Structure 1
Amino acid sequence: MARYLIPLIFGLAGIAVLVSLGLWQVQRLAWKEGVLADIEARIAAEPVALPGELDPQADRYLPVEVRGRLGDEALRVLVSQKHVGAGYRVISALDTGGRRILLDRGFIKVAEDIPAAPEGQVTVRGNVHWPDDRNSSTPENDLEGNTWFARDLDQMAGVLNTEPLMVVARDTSFSDAPVTPLPVDTDNIPNDHLEYAVTWFGLAAIWAVMSGYFLWRMRKTAKGEN
């Protein structure tokens, strides 16, 4: 029996480690779902007036209501919508009278023309957002061709002469067709903990089968030798 002890301990230890990693991912899943629920509640809360001072962490997704005049110039940020295809996010300046901010008006298909800005004051309900669109493979923005690949706030603010502050529209007091609001949500926040948990539990099951098979082969070989 001594010859089976080390493989048995090794097999049980491996199963224990893999199962514990799976349980840890289950705990992380519950934590992440709670975080996402809090973010969704914050996004959908009653909007407030745009504060004078904003913190990128504490005020992320803050629902606000802003009034002002839309600038005539519009920037186009290349995006893709599921079941719709390629298009642009339309970014314009919104002059509230006391400050100028960036307004993400929403999505328009590539083939459509961006409508002219409405005359007079408009009201927009949306969420303050600091986008994180850029990664190591994102191309540089084509300013001359007005094709942007990321909502780089500082660069956009320089072009449109605004603060590097963006509100993403959810509802507007004006018809912006064919532009449709593309409000912030939690869809792009990764939550892969369930997949990780399934992977670890699956590896634990495979480890158990392999360990059992190895012990069975050892026993069969020992019987053959006898």
Structure 2
Amino acid sequence: MSRPASRNGMAIALLPLIAILLGLGIWQVERRAWKLALIDRVERGLATAPVPAPGPAEWAGIDSEASYRRVRITGTYLPCRTKLAQAVTELGPGKWVMTPLVTARGFTVFVNRGFLPEGQTLPDCITTSVKPVSISGLLRLSEPKGGFLRSNDPAANRWYSRDVAAMGQGLAQLAPYFIDADRSGDGWPRGGMTVVRFSNNHLVYALTWFGLALLTAWFAWRAWRGRGAA
């Protein structure tokens, strides 16, 4: 007795789905390898001594590979150009204090001086004493546009992400990154609060896709053998 054409068609129709599921599983395996390499690179970078922050000649080559690199810079703050970006930390809600620093090398870079909890205020920028400082910390890429479901509003000076290009409108030779400053004391703003954590669930996702591919292959085999549901 010949196999019903409908069952043959079902088995054949499932083949592309099996290929897609296998492809998704392989993609997650590759993503896992990339994530493990990223974690290893960042952990090794955090353990190294700070290097000079990238200057204008190096900006074109800055990408995600540069994130969390330990850097150092010397310059003078522009306190009256400080921006406060919304933050939620282990200490509760507050703001990141983002202040541009004119470096001794001639360019400007935003420094995240640290966390300022709600209820705390900064000194009046007009009366703040300005003198050269040396900063070390982590290089971070700019965060354009805004936070989750909230867009930055430069006109109202409301910031939900650390978008250095928007924050630094009008500043000359502005770096496309910012620096999360190391902690330098117990006062406010408090540096050194960068959370370096990467989720790595790619193995679970890969096993899920491979499992679905195996299950689909079993259904296809049953249909081809004529024992599956019509």
TM-score, normalization by structure 2:
0.69
Question: 1:1-226, aligned counterparts within 5 Å?
Answer: 2-3=2-3, 6=8, 10=12, 13=15, 17=19, 18-19=21-22, 21-52=24-55, 53-58=57-62, 60-61=66-67, 62-73=69-80, 74-81=82-89, 83-99=90-106, 100-114=108-122, 120-134=131-145, 137-144=149-156, 146-158=157-169, 161=171, 163-165=173-175, 166-173=177-184, 176-183=187-194, 185=196, 187=198, 193-208=202-217, 210-211=219-220, 219=227
Q: Is the 8 A contact 2:183 2:190 kept in 1?
A: no
Structure 2 runs not aligned, ≥5 long: none
Compute the displacement of 1:30 (Å): 1.4
SS in 2 for 1:183: coil
The answer to whether the 8 Å contact 1:157/1:163 transfers is: no
- Amino acid corresponding to residue 3 of structure 1 in structure 2: R
The secondary structure found in structure 2 opposite 1:54 is helix
Task: Give the Å deviation of 1:2.
Answer: 4.3
Kept after mapping to 1: 8 A contact 2:139/2:180: no
- Cα separation, partners in 2 of 1:118 and 1:199, compared to 1, 3 Å: farther
What RMSD over aligned residues (CA atoms) do the two structures have, in Å? Answer: 3.9
Structure 1 48/27 Cα, relative in aligned 2: closer, same or farther at 3 Å? closer
5+ residue gaps, structure 1: none
Q: 1:76 to 1:220 in 2, by over 3 A?
A: closer
TM-score using structure 1 length: 0.70
Mapped partners of 1:162, 1:185: distance in 2: 30
How many equivalent pairs are there?
216
